[in-house]
Amino acid sequence: MIRVMGLFSKIKDVFKKEDKSVETYEKGLSKTRKSFVNKLANLSKEYDEINDNYFEELEELLINADIGVNTVMDFMDKLQKRVSKEKITSPSMLTEIIVDELFIIYVNDEILSNKINYNPNGPTVILFVGVNGVGKTTTIAKLASKFKKEGKKVLLVAADTFRAGAVEQLITWGEKIGCKVVSDTNTTDPASVVYQGLEKANKDKYDMVLIDTAGRLQNKVNLMKELEKINNVGDKIIPGAPHETFLVIDATTGQNGISQAKAFKEITNLTGIVLTKLDGTAKGGIVLAIKDEVGIPVRYIGLGEKEEDLQTFDIEKYIYGLFKDMM
Amino acid sequence: MFESLTEKLENAIGKIKGYGKITEENISDAMREVRLALLEADVNYKVVKEFTSKVKEKALGEEVKKSLKPGDLFLKILKDELLDLLGSDKSELNLSGNPAVIMLVGLQGSGKTTTIGKLGNILRKKKSKKPLFIAGDVYRPAAIDQLKQLGKELNIEVYDEGKGNPVLIAQNGVNYAKENGYDLVLIDTAGRLHVDEELMNELKNINDAVKPNEIILVIDAMIGQDAINVINGFNDALPLTGTILTKMDGDTKGGVALSAKHLTGVPIKYIGTSEKLDGLTAFDPERMVSRILGNGDIMSIIEKAEEVIDEKEAMGTVKKIQAGKMDLEDFLSQLKQIKKLGPLENLIKLLPGARKMGLNNISIDPKQFARLEAIISSMTIKERKHPEIIKASRKQRIANGSGTSVQEVNKLLTQFEQMQKMMKMMKNGNFKMPF
């Protein structure tokens, strides 16, 4: 229990400081939190003692948050073992342990850093990949704006040569945030657009290059081959590129998120997840399963439509956001 | 879609098969598998609970018939209950009225604009409608451009006012349709969260202004447990008449299909089955259940073939094959027919037992077809009818013309020669199938 309390006071400490980003987290996650946390709190009130029904309801609660089925099953096993070993009888005590165990699943004894892996010798290239409609282009625009505010010279590359209107969408964003966009309507080969973009980035000494790619379902072999080509072209022009590859996932995604992470990791050197649209009622719990099963951490989360609603991911804040009302 | 759900359910059925009868013990084991399979498919957890207890009850209850083996009985109960979840009726679009108005709504990125393109294309072809698109997504950058590009590709007019008021745009668009003889209007709307009151009110206002025949919620099939909140959110604000599940051609298990109708009463009308503009299929519960249980869906293959294959031309080719007279000209026309069927992987998956034969993960490169086509297209008609005249210099010319190599031309010619030999054997009746 000492370890649990330690974690809790640590999390609470994080939030005692006046921190604007915490507010955004809380606001963005408020819809999410209401349903999830109320249910968890009710669960502790409803049950005087921990029994099979309690565990069953808890399991359903976690599954309802889209935390992967395997991850939930393992989690329940661990929790039941801990309950019998530590002779825990009251559900209210267990609530803290639940938070603790979820945290452990995510962190898994690793040191997780959210710093961008900057290229010290030239432009830093970030590749954005994902299935259709998850919000890649919007995420790129928000992140580009962030980098710009940090004083960086940012180039956008419109390598979604497939979807109707995709290039125009990025160009519109580029105008809005004041970033140059490389596009080429004469080719349908995205690798060639990336090539042009990276050459320009080198020549004009850009700090950051953000590459937009077409949404692709991970089981489409030809589209994944195309992505492989896009991925491989970078290193030829800027050594080490792409320095980061982000998989963008929609928070409403269910178990398929695991398959997405696995498939994109096979083709690219996936370095993180961007979890979008977390301002709805979806809980995005699948990221816990993705970290648990595929080992890819979340780097950013989208909590709203505005630029500043894209936040650096912080697991402590995320869990705090989910469980705030209980602490 | 559904492949791994199928595999898990087959495992569960397998657990029962070995026993002489269904008992409390063996059914519990099987039901655990079923439960996990459905949860992993993102079927709503309440539905899973209800479903498993119902199946268990039936399997143990009075309905046990001696004539059925336990495995078959269990399969039958699963089938009946799955059908019960999906609702056994096909739900068609209501296209009455002039113009018939269909409005598509949904979360961001669910695929509304693409689906509008597909619906326009399909309803024009199958119901002889004259569609007009209305560009009502004034928020997402370039959403109007996207719809216009689809309209251009399909040769369907798009009504837009740029970034105006979506309610007025919808109203003006419907009037424009009336004045210009369009009998079907498809309204695109901006993606929005079901909890965004302001934007949900905007949809209510569009609904009041144009009174659509159909308000369709477009749902990404990869959605998880939040599906029920989303559907209820939209359904509380608007009189939804149906849903369309998109991206069903991914490897999602599409559990939302099993929960949506049952929990909300809103029927599924179509499912999105490829990125192409004809990749939208009417939803059929019986076929869906057949696919979930690994029994394939031959009807869909036949229908697809009927739609795209020119029967006369196909019969002509068959006669030529029977007579042993097929030439490269016929071969080219066949290649074109096959191409019309869309990605072959999708068809193969519909074959009964495809998964057991390991065919569910097969991949076929459409570029290979394109190369064959290019090679034959670079031949003269005479060469196509008499491939034996193609010698070195002709081969070089064909290779240059098709952007391939002489080796590839040789390969095609050799393969064709073998095919001809086989056809001759068939004609002479001394051909035995190798299996």
Structure tokens at A87: 């002779």
Element containing residue A109 per DSSP (H, E)? none
Q: Are residues A190 and A161 in contact, defined by beta-carbon separation less than 8 angstroms? A: yes
Chain A residues in contact with B194 by the CB 8 A cut-off are: 280-281
Lowest mean pLDDT among B20-24, B239-243, B345-349: B345-349
For chain A, percent of residues with pLDDT exceeding 90: 54
- Cβ atoms < 10 Å from Cβ of B211: 12
- Cβ atoms < 10 Å from Cβ of A17: 7
> Once rounded to an integer, what is the mean pLDDT over residues B124-130?
94
Is residue A137 assigned to a domain? yes
CA distances (Å), B176 to each of A116, A216, B150, in order?
Answer: 52, 36, 20
The CATH number for A27's domain is 1.20.120.140
Distance from CA of B171 to the nearest CA of A (A): 25
Question: What confidence category does residue B431 fall into, taking pLDDT thresholds of 50, 70 and 90?
Answer: very low
Question: What confidence category does residue A164 fall into, taking pLDDT thresholds of 50, 70 and 90?
Answer: confident
Taking CA–CA distances from A71, the nearest residue in chain B reads B40
- pLDDT for A25 equals 66
Element containing residue A226 per DSSP (H, E)? helix A221-237
Q: Is A324 helix (H, G, I), strand (E, B) or coil?
A: helix
Domain count, chain A: 2
Chain A residues in contact with B195 by the CB 8 A cut-off are: 31, 280-281
User: Domain check: are A128 and A102 in the same one?
Assistant: no
User: Domain check: are A257 and A208 in the same one?
Assistant: yes
Question: What confidence category does residue B362 fall into, taking pLDDT thresholds of 50, 70 and 90?
Answer: low
Residue B307 clears pLDDT 50, i.e. is over it: yes
- pLDDT for B201 equals 97
Is residue A323 assigned to a domain? no
pLDDT, greater one: A95 or A129: A129
For chain B, percent of residues with pLDDT exceeding 90: 43
Tell me the pLDDT of chain A averaged across its residues.
85
Is residue A277 assigned to a domain? yes
User: Domain check: are A68 and A174 in the same one?
Assistant: no
Interface mutation vs chain A, best among B197, B252, B277, B360, most A CBs within 10 Å: B252
Q: Is B401 exposed, middle or buried (0-12, 13-18, 19+ CB in 10 A)?
A: middle
Residue A209 clears pLDDT 60, i.e. is over it: yes
- Name the domain boundary from A50, A79, A107: A107
Sheet holding A310-312, edge to edge: A180-182, A154-159, A208-213, A124-129, A244-250, A272-276, A298-302, A310-312
ipTM of the complex: 0.83
- pLDDT for B65 equals 58
- pLDDT for A105 equals 85
pLDDT, greater one: B372 or A35: B372
> Once rounded to an integer, what is the mean pLDDT over residues B334-361?
68
Chain B residues in contact with A287 by the CB 8 A cut-off are: none
> Once rounded to an integer, what is the mean pLDDT over residues A267-293?
91
- pLDDT for B59 equals 86
Distance from CA of B110 to the nearest CA of A (A): 6
User: Domain check: are A222 and A271 in the same one?
Assistant: yes
- pLDDT for B89 equals 75
| CB atoms A222 and B363 under 8 Å | yes
| CB atoms B224 and A133 under 8 Å | no
Residue A176 clears pLDDT 70, i.e. is over it: yes
Residue B1 clears pLDDT 60, i.e. is over it: no
Give CATH superfamily name and number for B100-295. Answer: P-loop containing nucleotide triphosphate hydrolases (3.40.50.300)
Taking CA–CA distances from B233, the nearest residue in chain A reads A281
User: Domain check: are A260 and A303 in the same one?
Assistant: yes
Is residue A325 assigned to a domain? no
Is residue A327 assigned to a domain? no
- pLDDT for A1 equals 35
- pLDDT for A48 equals 77
- pLDDT for A15 equals 45
User: Domain check: are A87 and A206 in the same one?
Assistant: no
Contacts of A96 (CB under 8 A, 6+ apart): A4, A5, A8
Handedness of CA A193, A199, A200, A206 (dihedral sign): positive
pLDDT tens column, B41-59: 899 999 999 999 999 998 8
Using CB atoms, pick whichever of A64, A135, A277 lies closest to residue B225.
A64
Is residue A83 assigned to a domain? yes
> Once rounded to an integer, what is the mean pLDDT over residues A86-95?
82
- pLDDT for A17 equals 45
Handedness of CA B82, B84, B90, B94 (dihedral sign): negative
CA–CA distance, B150 with B156 (Å, rounded to integer): 8
- Name the domain boundary from A72, A107, A142: A107
User: Domain check: are A143 and A282 in the same one?
Assistant: yes
Question: What confidence category does residue A327 fall into, taking pLDDT thresholds of 50, 70 and 90?
Answer: very low
Distance from CA of B225 to the nearest CA of A (A): 5
CA–CA distance, B14 with A102 (Å, rounded to integer): 35
Question: What confidence category does residue B71 fall into, taking pLDDT thresholds of 50, 70 and 90?
Answer: confident
Tell me the pLDDT of chain B averaged across its residues.
85
User: Domain check: are A100 and A129 in the same one?
Assistant: no
Residue B286 clears pLDDT 80, i.e. is over it: yes
Q: Which domain holds residue A20?
A: 16-107
Question: What confidence category does residue B251 fall into, taking pLDDT thresholds of 50, 70 and 90?
Answer: confident
The CATH number for A256's domain is 3.40.50.300
Taking CA–CA distances from B111, the nearest residue in chain A reads A133
pLDDT tens column, A40-81: 777 777 777 888 888 888 888 888 888 889 999 999 999 999
Class of the CATH domain delimited by B3-86:
mainly alpha
User: Domain check: are A193 and A308 in the same one?
Assistant: yes
> Once rounded to an integer, what is the mean pLDDT over residues B392-397?
90
Residue A162 clears pLDDT 70, i.e. is over it: yes
User: Domain check: are A184 and A274 in the same one?
Assistant: yes
For residue A91, is the peptide bond before it cis, meaning its omega torsion is within 30 degrees of 0?
no
Residue B240 clears pLDDT 60, i.e. is over it: yes
CA–CA distance, A148 with A307 (Å, rounded to integer): 12
Print the SS3 string covering chain B.
CCHHHHHHHHHHHHHHHCCCCCCHHHHHHHHHHHHHHHHHCCCCHHHHHHHHHHHHHHHHCCCCCCCCCHHHHHHHHHHHHHHHHHCCCCCCCCCCCCCEEEEEEECCCCCHHHHHHHHHHHHHHHHCCCEEEEEECCCCCCHHHHHHHHHHHHCCCEECCCCCCHHHHHHHHHHHHHHCCCCEEEEEECCCCCCCHHHHHHHHHHHHHHCCCEEEEEEECCECCCHHHHHHHHHHHCCCCEEEEECCCCCCCCCHHHHHHHHHCCCEEEEECCCCCCCEEECCHHHHHHHHCCCCCHHHHHHHHHHHCCHHHHHHHHHHHHHCCCCHHHHHHHHHHHHHCCCHHHHHHCCCCCCCCCCCCCCCCHHHHHHHHHHHHCCCHHHHHCHHHCCHHHHHHHHHHHCCCHHHHHHHHHHHHHHHHHHHHHHHCCCCCCC
> Once rounded to an integer, what is the mean pLDDT over residues B16-43?
86
- Choose among A210, A226, A220, A302: nearest CA to A259: A220
| CB atoms B255 and A254 under 8 Å | yes
Orientation angle between helical segments A30-46 and A91-107, nearest 10 degrees: 140
Residue B434 clears pLDDT 50, i.e. is over it: no
For residue B99, is the peptide bond before it cis, meaning its omega torsion is within 30 degrees of 0?
yes
- pLDDT for A29 equals 65
Name the residue ranges covered by the structural domains of chain B: 3-86, 100-295, 304-428
Using CB atoms, pick whichever of B141, B194, B223 lies closest to residue A169.
B141
Chain B residues in contact with A160 by the CB 8 A cut-off are: none
- pLDDT for A18 equals 45
- Name the domain boundary from A60, A78, A107: A107
Distance from CA of B153 to the nearest CA of A (A): 10
Structure tokens at A256: 């398929």
> Once rounded to an integer, what is the mean pLDDT over residues B289-300?
69
- pLDDT for A3 equals 41
User: Domain check: are A144 and A97 in the same one?
Assistant: no
- pLDDT for B353 equals 61
Chain A residues in contact with B36 by the CB 8 A cut-off are: 69, 73
> Once rounded to an integer, what is the mean pLDDT over residues B226-244?
95
pLDDT, greater one: A35 or B82: B82
User: Domain check: are A149 and A271 in the same one?
Assistant: yes
pLDDT, greater one: B136 or B298: B136
| CB atoms A222 and B365 under 8 Å | yes
Residue B124 clears pLDDT 80, i.e. is over it: yes
Give CATH superfamily name and number for B304-428. Answer: Signal recognition particle, SRP54 subunit, M-domain (1.10.260.30)
Interface mutation vs chain A, best among B222, B246, B253, most A CBs within 10 Å: B222
- pLDDT for B297 equals 59
Is residue A134 assigned to a domain? yes
Lowest mean pLDDT among A242-246, B57-61, B162-166: B57-61
- pLDDT for B178 equals 96
Is residue A4 assigned to a domain? no
Using CB atoms, pick whichever of A63, A166, A171 lies closest to residue B225.
A63
The residue whose two tokens read 């994109």 is A264
pLDDT, greater one: A273 or B368: A273
CA–CA distance, B260 with B266 (Å, rounded to integer): 7
Give the global pTM: 0.79
CA distances (Å), A150 to each of A136, A207, A236, in order?
Answer: 21, 11, 28
Residue A167 clears pLDDT 80, i.e. is over it: yes
Chain A residues in contact with B231 by the CB 8 A cut-off are: none
Residue A2 clears pLDDT 60, i.e. is over it: no
> Once rounded to an integer, what is the mean pLDDT over residues A220-241?
92
Question: What confidence category does residue A241 fall into, taking pLDDT thresholds of 50, 70 and 90?
Answer: very high
> Once rounded to an integer, what is the mean pLDDT over residues A264-280?
94
Using CB atoms, pick whichever of B144, B195, B250 lies closest to residue A219.
B250
